[in-house]
Structure 1
Amino acid sequence: MNIKEKYEAAKQEYAKFGIDVDKVLEELQKVKVSVHCWQGDDVTGFEVSQNQLSGGIQATGNYPGRARNPEELRADLDKALSLIPGKHKINLHAIYAETNGKAVERDEIKPEHFENWVNWAKERGLGLDFNPTIFSHPKASDGLTLSHPNKEIRDFWIRHAIASRKIGEYFGKELGQTCLTNLWIPDGYKDIPSDRLGPRKRLKDSLDQIFAEKVDTKYNLDAVESKVFGIGAESYTVGSSEFYINYAAKNGILSLLDTGHYHPTEVVSDKISSMLLFSEKVALHVSRPVRWDSDHVVIFDDELKEIAKEIVRNDALDRVIIGLDFFDASINRIAAWVIGTRNMLKALLSAMLIPHDQLIKLQEEGNFTERLALMEELKTYPLGDIWNYYCEINNVPVKEDWIKDVKEYEKTILENRK
């Protein structure tokens, strides 16, 4: 059987549970995943004065072909997007500004420094998301930024964050797609602190000043991102989960959940339903922690599937903003984008092909035997035949065929980068 014939046969399998697979694919087509640009250049950015990567962030490996300038990074993104079904967004950090060779401090960045990104996105029908880059800078060299005891340093980062929000608003206006501007800081201490409250008071005051600057929520949504610990901040993180969830709830902004920013025994999938009860929208950074926040490429594993199930079964595809956040310099960087993004979409498709109402009914009835049996049998239903057809109708390679495209691009383009 060809791909279409296998798809038609698979549809009948899911139809037994009342699932209209054609409608499922129509809904999946609407999903926009925010693909992070920093996988393509190992979080280096394009600042005139290159700063050493810091803030507990490491991109390990030296695979050839890292993007060295904006043109190469956009070309690499174009290649990756050509192998991913659907129409998505690109997530930028402030260090990806283009300043025409002029040194521009981060608290002075303006929309004009991202005009090339906007024009590129506009030509392709893409949206853009944004992040202030509050790390890898001399004013973050001691691991403290918005909670720093030095007011001058705090004020610098406050100005940078405000400038970043205005850039996010600019993205939304120009592209007709609301930008998510997400704030994360590395602040914390390596050893047990003698004062936990003081830094958090300073962080709260800094955030209050940042968000006092009004931007139009039609064009820009704000999020804050917590972390449990980091390299150099193993004992105490100022912006903890409790801090940011409370701050976001009180101030009407979004709380962003990064899958690597919790204790290894915690899972983000379990947090989504609680967040949806009290927040109109929830933002995600989907990564893959291996024992810690190591930002491995997203694979089609149990936690990714559980995250997708929580989004789908709670009818929250339009309420959960899905972004990716990983950076692996040990493998082909374009392949990393393709693997991670295709897996995110595949997990959503898998969740959309589950008869959630039936499984919920069995749980409510206490019929755990049938529920478990059905959940296990569904694991071997023909998801792959549905996915292959979805790729085909989106004119992207089916199965592993995309690897040939990446190999050819590596041979003709990446290997020539020295």
Structure 2
Amino acid sequence: MRKESVMKQYEAARERFAEYGVDTETALRAIDEVEISMHCWQGDDVTGFEVSEQGMSGGILATGNYPGRARNANELRADYEKAFSLIPGRQRANLHAFYLETGGKRVDRDAVEVKYFENWMQWAQELGIKLDFNTSMFSHPKSEGGYTIASYDDTIRGFWIEHGRRCRDIAEEMGKRQGSPCVLNHWMVDGSKDAPVDRYDRRALFIRSLDAIRSKAVSKDHVLDAIESKLFGIGLESFTVGSGELALGYAVTRDIMVTCDLGHFHPTESVADKVSAVLQFTDKMLLHTSRPVRWDSDHVVLQNDDTMALMQEVVRANALSRVYIALDFFDASINRIAAWVIGTRATQKALLSALLEPRERLLAAERAGDTTYRLALVEEMKNMPVNAVWDYYCEKSGVPVGMDWYGEVKQYEKDVLLGRD
């Protein structure tokens, strides 16, 4: 009965959208080609699998103690698979460097190697998904001074440059094996709690160090470098070396991607507005969907105004082929798998809604100067039956429709997660 109801509602929705010149099947084909990179750090509260006593630092804090945190890579991969089974479309797995597997051996960040991610690569191949990667330049004794690649200390700077180089080697191998570029995101904690006197030389060091990390020529068929800016972090409130201006300038002059995270800008800034600006100067860009609450708090993504506006701008700019989409949040106060499912599905729903917009009619009206019709049509589309198309997409993809996924998560919690604590 559920399937019949879904089909009936979809057919009605398809006819409604057709009235506005929108082909729902075209929208569904488009969203089915989009790969969302699902971050590993939601599954274990950004703890990682290093043999180390180091706690989190660098403006990163996961709050809450919901039972069932993944304690090792096997548990995290199992949780990943459960989440994947409840989400339509295509996903990628996004790893941080400190999610390595060393068999109990202590390996410092400047000694990470491809072999420590062999299990991840085999798992991805078996699952038929792709991997992305991130340098881990935080939560480490050599980042406690607030600076990594912008440190005045040659030893500390050299340590992190070597870490970055090795991460590129790992990402290169991932890209080669999966036959798809591995997106390598570079985010550095560097900054100061209080206002420094020297900003210029810090940023010069930062840039020289990034150049050193990227000194090896690597094919874009294997690795796509991205640099992520940030407004501030806890304990780094007054100065961030890798500001928005620096990141964009570096990306443009080095022909790499810039990463725009929804939580890494001033609360009144529109990340959506940056898409059409950045893509004038770069070939591609990376987006991190998150939900800041007054600051970069990394709440679970919702289908809110910010997410909707971001996806609308990607579609309106005809930029789906030029934009990579990844998730970036961590909430330890709720079921972690549910957080993945809610955040990914919310991102996809926002994208589907954008794909169902009558773009050509809106453009025609705007270019004709008929801003009255443009406003009326944009407003009318807000209550169109997008959810009926979404439910059909889920049904067609063989994943739970509506809230049916929640029962599976609670059963998994009972059978697996609660046995971990």
What TM bracket, shorter-length normalisation?
over 0.9
Matched with 1:164 is 167
Match of 1:138 among 117, 136, 141: 141
Per the TM alignment, residue 363 of structure 1 is displaced from its structure 2 partner at its CA by 2.1
Residue deviations 1:154-196, cap 9 Å, x none? 0000000000011001111111121000100111111111111
1:6 maps to 2:15:
no
Greater mean alpha carbon deviation, residues 149-158 or residues 168-177: 168-177
Match of 1:270 among 257, 270, 273: 273
Matched with 1:126 is 129
The amino acid of 1:271's aligned partner reads K
Distance 2:185 2:364 in 1: 38
Residue deviations 1:311-369, cap 9 Å, x none? 11111111000011000000000000000000111111000100012112222233222
Matched with 2:218 is 215
Uncovered stretches (5+) of structure 2, i.e. residues with no partner: none
Matched with 1:60 is 63
Per the TM alignment, residue 269 of structure 1 is displaced from its structure 2 partner at its CA by 0.4
1:191 maps to 2:194:
yes
Distance 1:346 1:265 in 2: 24
Distance 2:211 2:13 in 1: 53
Distance 1:288 1:360 in 2: 30
Distance 1:162 1:124 in 2: 28
Matched with 2:410 is 407
How is 1:307-318 mapped onto 2 (pairs within 5 angstroms)?
307-318=310-321
Distance 1:214 1:104 in 2: 26
Matched with 1:237 is 240
Per the TM alignment, residue 211 of structure 1 is displaced from its structure 2 partner at its CA by 1.1
1:178 maps to 2:181:
yes
The amino acid of 1:276's aligned partner reads L
1:390 maps to 2:393:
yes
Q: 1:254–1:283: 8 Å Cα contact kept in structure 2?
A: yes
Residue deviations 1:114-156, cap 9 Å, x none? 0000011001110100001000101011111000010100000
Distance 1:215 1:159 in 2: 16
Q: 1:182–1:222: 8 Å Cα contact kept in structure 2?
A: yes
Per the TM alignment, residue 285 of structure 1 is displaced from its structure 2 partner at its CA by 1.0
Structure 2 SS opposite 1:391: helix
The amino acid of 2:288's aligned partner reads H
Structure 2 SS opposite 1:278: coil
Residue deviations 1:49-77, cap 9 Å, x none? 13110000000011110000000000000
Distance 2:388 2:208 in 1: 53
Distance 2:68 2:53 in 1: 19
Residue deviations 1:72-111, cap 9 Å, x none? 0000000000000012101000000001111111111111
The amino acid of 1:346's aligned partner reads K
TM-score with structure 1 setting the length: 0.99
Matched with 2:354 is 351
Matched with 1:94 is 97
Distance 1:131 1:50 in 2: 21
Distance 1:250 1:131 in 2: 21
Match of 1:342 among 345, 348, 351: 345
Structure 1 SS opposite 2:230: coil
Distance 2:396 2:249 in 1: 44
Match of 2:255 among 241, 246, 252: 252
TM-score with structure 2 setting the length: 0.98
Match of 1:76 among 71, 74, 79: 79
How is 1:262-301 mapped onto 2 (pairs within 5 angstroms)?
262-301=265-304
Match of 1:377 among 357, 376, 380: 380
Distance 2:319 2:367 in 1: 21
Distance 1:364 1:86 in 2: 34
Matched with 1:107 is 110
Residue deviations 1:261-310, cap 9 Å, x none? 10111021010010111111011111110110000000010110111111
Q: 2:251–2:282: 8 Å Cα contact kept in structure 1?
A: no
Q: 1:87–1:125: 8 Å Cα contact kept in structure 2?
A: no
The amino acid of 1:117's aligned partner reads W
Structure 2 SS opposite 1:274: helix
Matched with 1:18 is 21
Matched with 1:365 is 368
Matched with 2:324 is 321
Distance 1:301 1:257 in 2: 17
Distance 1:146 1:313 in 2: 37
The amino acid of 1:88's aligned partner reads Q
The amino acid of 1:120's aligned partner reads W
Structure 2 SS opposite 1:396: coil
The amino acid of 1:246's aligned partner reads G
Structure 2 SS opposite 1:35: strand
Uncovered stretches (5+) of structure 1, i.e. residues with no partner: none
Distance 1:82 1:259 in 2: 26
Distance 1:188 1:110 in 2: 28
Matched with 2:150 is 147
The amino acid of 1:58's aligned partner reads L
